[in-house]
């Protein structure tokens, strides 16, 4: 995948030596700017916007985020607990499947619970477990629009034989009997056109049931805060859909909230030659930026030069595939050199791990307007120890 972001913004002037390495640095000014854009969409369209915690769960920023958004969407019990403990606002939860104990707790803290197919709804509504009270939560059904728009097939919710959502071609009138809402999530770093295409597939099938539905959730993957996103078209679309359907309309972006709001700072530990220059960094793709391998994609580097000899950068783990990519560094590669990768606030912090006992990056909050910098979280080796037995 080609990264759709990578604008350095104020980080172009940030001194990388101000934080220990490795470290995530989040610019609260950039985050607020994204939130202001989302709040503007809300105000002009009448839609509600939820933060997808799966992408960005930095609860120390909850007071800021609460000012702008309508609530939070969780992918399971622990995210829902985090939302209830640290954020304000309604919680909407979706998981491909639920355990009974988890669902019992979720039914008490989630305003919306969305199921993956109608059979799940029937099974849990008829379940004898008295702790599961679904009537206290609006029940939603995730549908699969069956229109593949993703750049990478394995990340496309509409891929053949997808496990995410009930195929829209299989919907029957009886499936709407217990529903309060319909949910779909078909996008990944997409502009407005992809939403329009998806909705053109969905609307003819669910329009006859508008009167029976309370809400429609258009999911995430909307790159609303990217400069080239057609926000005017989105506002017009949301206003028209709300009027036409009579439903509350939800969006649940994650990446758009933290887009270009954070960097990952690292240091080169060693440089040698193996047919080309190779650099070992204290940043691990495997442990700190798993999407580099899983997607895969090449993260943009702060101040990378456009030409010159490239160096292959990789992490300190023993995994042969722990390779970040080939880069033309801002300066001649050398031990102790600081580097930073852009757009790392989302889907990096939430995915870090301690494979090989690799240390976790500390987390810093920076205000690019007043230059205040503070450490939000640091880790020692017990973060590795305490995961194990």
Q: What pairing do the DSSP bridges indicate for beta strands 262-273 and 338-342?
A: antiparallel
Q: Give residue 357's region: left, alpha or beta (phi > 0; psi -120 to 50).
A: left
CB burial readout 141-166, b (16+ within 10 A) else e = bbbbbbbebbeeeeebbbbeeeebbb
pLDDT at 136: 67
pLDDT at 153 (0 to 100): 86
Q: Report yes or no: 320 and 389 within 8 Å, Cβ to Cβ.
A: no
| Domain 46-258 in this protein, CATH class | alpha beta
Mean pLDDT by 10 residues, the chain (389 residues): 81 98 98 98 98 98 98 98 97 97 94 96 80 80 96 89 97 93 95 97 96 96 96 98 98 97 98 98 98 94 96 98 98 97 97 97 98 98 95
pLDDT of residue 130: 67
CA–CA separation, 55 vs 64, rounded Å? 17
Return the axis-axis angle of helices 231-245 and 192-206, rounded to nearest 10°: 10
CB count, 10 Å around CB of 376?
A: 15
- Span(s) in the chain for CATH 3.20.20.10: 46-258
What end-to-end distance do the CA atoms of the chain give, in Å? 37
Site of tokens 């002009």: 44
Q: Cα Rg for the chain, rounded, in angstroms?
A: 22
3-state secondary structure of 243: helix
| Res 14: pLDDT | 98
| Residue 212: strand pairing partners | none
What is the DSSP secondary structure assignment for residue 319, as one 8-state letter? -
User: How many Å apart are CA 372 and CA 367, to the nearest integer?
Assistant: 5
- All CATH 2.40.37.10 domain ranges in the chain, comma separated: 9-25+262-385
Peptide bond into 296 cis (omega under 30): yes
Give the tokens for residue 26.
């989040």
Identify the helix (H) or strand (E) that includes residue 366: strand 362-366
What φ, ψ does residue 208 adopt, rounded to 5°? -60, -15
Cis peptide leading into 22, omega within 30 of 0? yes
Q: State residue 252's pLDDT score.
A: 98
Q: Could you tell me the pTM of the whole model?
A: 0.95
- Asked if 248 and 48 touch (Cβ cutoff 8 Å), the reply is yes
Tell me the per-residue pLDDT of 316-371, one tens digit each, with 9 for 90 and over. 999 999 999 999 999 999 999 999 999 999 999 999 999 999 999 999 999 999 99
- Could you tell me which CATH number the domain at 9-25+262-385 has? 2.40.37.10
Q: What kind and span of H or E run contains 114?
A: strand 112-115
Query: Can you give the pLDDT at residue 128?
Result: 65
pLDDT at 126: 79
């Amino acid at each position: 995948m080609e990264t759709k972001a990578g604008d350095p913004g104020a980080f172009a002037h940030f001194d990388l030596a101000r934080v220990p390495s490795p470290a995530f640095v989040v610019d609260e000014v950039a985050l607020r700017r994204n939130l202001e854009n989302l709040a503007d969409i809300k105000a002009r369209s009448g839609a509600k916007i939820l933060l997808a915690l799966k992408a960005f769960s930095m609860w120390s920023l909850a007071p800021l985020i609460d000012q702008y958004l309508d609530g939070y969407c969780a992918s399971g019990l622990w995210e829902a607990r985090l939302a209830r403990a640290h954020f304000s606002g309604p919680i909407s939860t979706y998981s491909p499947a639920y355990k009974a104990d988890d669902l019992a707790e979720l039914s008490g803290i989630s305003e919306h619970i969305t199921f993956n197919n109608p059979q799940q709804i029937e099974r849990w509504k008829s379940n004898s477990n008295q702790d599961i009270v679904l009537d206290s939560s609006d029940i939603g059904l995730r549908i699969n629009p069956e229109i593949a728009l993703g750049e990478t097939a394995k990340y496309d919710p509409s891929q053949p034989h997808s496990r995410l959502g009930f195929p829209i071609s299989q919907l029957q009138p009886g499936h709407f009997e217990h529903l309060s809402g319909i949910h779909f999530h078909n996008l990944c770093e997409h502009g407005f056109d992809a939403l329009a295409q998806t909705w053109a597939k969905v609307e003819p099938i669910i329009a006859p049931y508008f009167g029976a539905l309370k809400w429609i959730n258009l999911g995430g993957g909307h790159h609303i805060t990217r400069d080239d996103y057609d926000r005017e078209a989105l506002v017009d679309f949301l206003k028209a859909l709300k009027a036409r359907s009579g439903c509350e309309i939800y969006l649940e972006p994650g990446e758009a909230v933290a887009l270009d709001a954070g960097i990952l700072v690292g240091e080169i530990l060693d440089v040698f030659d193996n047919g080309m220059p190779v650099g070992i960094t204290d940043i691990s793709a495997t442990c700190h930026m798993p999407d580099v391998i899983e997607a895969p994609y090449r993260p943009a580097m702060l101040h990378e030069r456009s030409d010159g000899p490239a160096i292959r950068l990789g992490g300190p783990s023993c995994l042969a595939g722990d390779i970040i990519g080939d880069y033309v560094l801002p300066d001649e590669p050398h031990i102790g050199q600081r580097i930073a990768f852009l757009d790392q606030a989302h889907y990096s912090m939430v995915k870090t791990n301690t494979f090989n006992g690799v240390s976790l990056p500390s987390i810093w909050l920076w205000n690019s307007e007043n230059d205040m910098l503070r450490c939000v979280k640091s880790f020692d080796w017990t973060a590795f120890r305490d995961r194990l037995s």
